[in-house]
Chain A
């Protein structure tokens, strides 16, 4: 039988909440956690490692659901920097807007931002998926290594700078591409993958009208003429 627990962060500390999430929750019957009055506090739900639904009701601070594994976390509000950073699996959803570095270095899982994300969204991405319903700021997907970033709105300057093997799909305009990023043709497999990702994120979107950005791979070797003799 499933059970739920509620934490009021006006009366309980983030430390007490996280300690419960790490130590008592795994193996218990509780499958749903409700967090009230986050009031912009940081690191709420950081280090989760079990299949639980967590709802955070209100605006939250930095590093929300950082390094998440397995859990499905929804923030009913806006978040500060680095939501879902280094996520390994599971899902993190922000109903509002996200500040900088959303989904930084995420190795797995899905991060969905229903509003806009600020600069450096998806920076250093390592296999996770990031879907932003609105716009993203400058230097998004900087040095992204693997995974997919979807921007349904517009992308700011220097999108995908120094990109490795990660792929970016953009529905709206792109201010400018970063070094070594290039627009590539949308293949049928891209449309299919994008459609699946939008469906998983619960978002509407005409996958065929997105553009694909990938790496030109011209920075993979420092000095091609030197044949790595350095």
Chain B
């Protein structure tokens, strides 16, 4: 007899591998909900967006062939000299390479890390940038060209440092958290950090997200006027923004009188912010750059106002593509930290490599996956204020690594430029690029490879203008 009990006793059709997982509530989402139930506080972490996004990797160069001729890769000169800030400033910034070091604070980074970045940048003829904690004497000394950030918090901000800076960057926002303020958890607010920021030691420091002395773009113009007056119109003034409504924001920054506009895409990093900010705000760097360029071109300001793009820039190819799309320079943060040894399994003690995998494990992570900058317990001494951990980064050695990395990046940029027939990396142009995906073609406004089709800009693969 075929009764119900017999049906129940039938074996399951297949093993667990045939169980159906939910696409909406997958393992990651369930882990997120369970974590929330236990902690009662949203997840805070460092670094940038980890999700897969359209990037510069989705573009390729159409290097020279019969229709164009290349320059000799090893013989003919290709300059990478980069000048920023000549619109109003009487002393523009002159760099040897189009790759600058992004603003990262002393506090989020150790003093050794800041020192190493300064040394490497100076050797390569480029600039470093202060951060949400003021300027340290060490970084002024190690950085030949130093950009001084004016942030909403104004921690340690003072006219003496303003006058000894080489450029000023007014920070409206950053790619990791456009619309949010800085964050430095208590573990990293050491006595020196607290003193520089006029805060009690050990508190969870959550900075303002709006400037205290101006609000809208009309006020920004007056604020820029004040900074120019105090520095006697010598220093270039940058305006840095997270990439959201890029076209409008760039126009407003230019109208307010910026010499240089810095746009930080959603892949941009941070030392600490809410995970929800990192992964769900802003637009990809690839999409932001063409919007910024269009805004400058529409205002007839391309070349007059400098454009720096940042957010997930890693390689010489990334830099070359950014320049071809219309940037004057790029800024790197996370890539520079990785060059310092971030996520390395070992640190170097001067004599050899020392495995610190256990320290990663104690943080609940592993080398290659770490984004725990917010804890202040960086196993390789970069994002920490702990005296013992900080000693794991040797500034001179780490500076060599960063210098080598910057050198490779710049060599790659000039290699690609020469192959495109350019004797100046700034001569790279949109016409030198093709897109590999429909998404990248639409965002970068570059034709899909093998066609002349730019989604959203043209309707057929033979008529780009229609």
Contacts and interface: CB of A to CB of B under 8 A. Distances in A.
Interface of A: 14-15, 18-19, 22-23, 42-43, 46-47, 49, 61-63, 66-67, 69, 81-82, 85-86, 88, 101, 104-105, 107, 120, 123-124, 126-127, 142-143, 145-146, 164-165, 220-223, 225-226, 228, 230
Most buried by A among B204, B229, B233: B229
Contacts of B213: 63, 81-82, 85-86, 101, 104-105, 123
Given A145-B198, A222-B204, 18 more contacts: A15-B229, A18-B232, A19-B232, A22-B232, A43-B222, A43-B225, A43-B226, A81-B214, A81-B222, A86-B159, A88-B158, A124-B153, A124-B208, A164-B199, A222-B185, A223-B41, A228-B204, A230-B39
Nearest to B162: A67
Contact of B212 (A63, A105, A164): A105
B230 interface: yes
Contact of A222 (B41, B200, B208): B41
Nearest to A105: B154
29 contacts: A18-B232, A22-B232, A42-B225, A43-B222, A43-B229, A43-B230, A47-B230, A63-B213, A67-B158, A67-B159, A81-B213, A81-B214, A82-B213, A86-B158, A86-B213, A101-B212, A104-B154, A123-B212, A124-B208, A145-B197, A145-B199, A164-B200, A165-B200, A220-B200, A222-B206, A223-B40, A225-B40, A226-B40, A230-B374
Nearest to A61: B222
A85 B226 CA distance: 10
B157 interface: yes
A222 B233 CA distance: 42
Nearest to B153: A124
A230 B44 contact: yes
Given A22-B232, A46-B226, A226 B158 contact: no
A66 B229 CA distance: 10
Given A22-B232, A221-B204, A66 B212 contact: no
Interface string B228-244: 01111100000000000
Contacts of A123: 212-213
Interface of B: 39-41, 44, 153-154, 157-159, 162, 185-187, 197-200, 203-204, 206, 208, 212-214, 219, 222-223, 225-226, 229-233, 374
Given A105-B213, A124-B212, A220-B203, A86 B157 contact: yes
A82 B214 contact: yes
Contacts of B198: 107, 126-127, 145-146
Given A86-B158, A86-B159, A220-B200, A67 B230 contact: yes
Contacts of A14: 229
A43 B224 CA distance: 10
B458 to A, nearest CB: 47
A88 B134 CA distance: 15
Contacts of B204: 220-222, 228
Contacts of A62: 219, 222-223, 226
Between B185, B198, B212, B226, the greatest number of chain A beta carbons within 10 A of the residue's beta carbon is seen for B212
Query: What secondary structure prevails in chain B residues at the interface with A?
Result: loop
Contacts of B153: 124
A63 B39 CA distance: 45
Contact of B157 (A49, A105, A145, A225): A105
B157 to A, nearest CB: 6
A82 B219 CA distance: 11
Given A124-B154, A230-B185, A230-B374, A46 B230 contact: yes
Nearest to B39: A226
Contacts of A225: 40
Contacts of A22: 232
B203 A221 contact: yes
A14 B230 CA distance: 11
A200 to B, nearest CB: 21
Nearest to A127: B198
A179 B223 CA distance: 29
A18 B227 CA distance: 12
B320 to A, nearest CB: 40
B256 to A, nearest CB: 13
Contacts of B206: 222
A98 to B, nearest CB: 12
A15 B159 contact: no
A63 B154 contact: no
A43 B223 CA distance: 9
A18 B228 CA distance: 11
A191 to B, nearest CB: 25
Contacts of A43: 222, 225-226, 229-230
A15 B198 CA distance: 32
A47 B213 CA distance: 16
Contacts of B186: 221, 228
What 3 A-B pairs come out closest when comparing CB atoms? A47-B230, A82-B213, A63-B226
A86 B187 CA distance: 28
B409 to A, nearest CB: 35
Residue among B40, B44, B225 facing the most chain A CB atoms (10 A cut-off): B225
B226 A66 contact: yes
A45 B187 CA distance: 41
A203 to B, nearest CB: 25
A200 B203 CA distance: 33
Contacts of A145: 197-199
B185 to A, nearest CB: 7
A72 B203 CA distance: 35
Contact of A66 (B199, B208, B230, B232): B230
A226 B214 contact: no
Contacts of B374: 230
Contacts of A69: 159
Contacts of B214: 81-82, 101
A199 to B, nearest CB: 26
Given A220-B200, A220-B203, A81 B219 contact: yes
Nearest to B197: A145
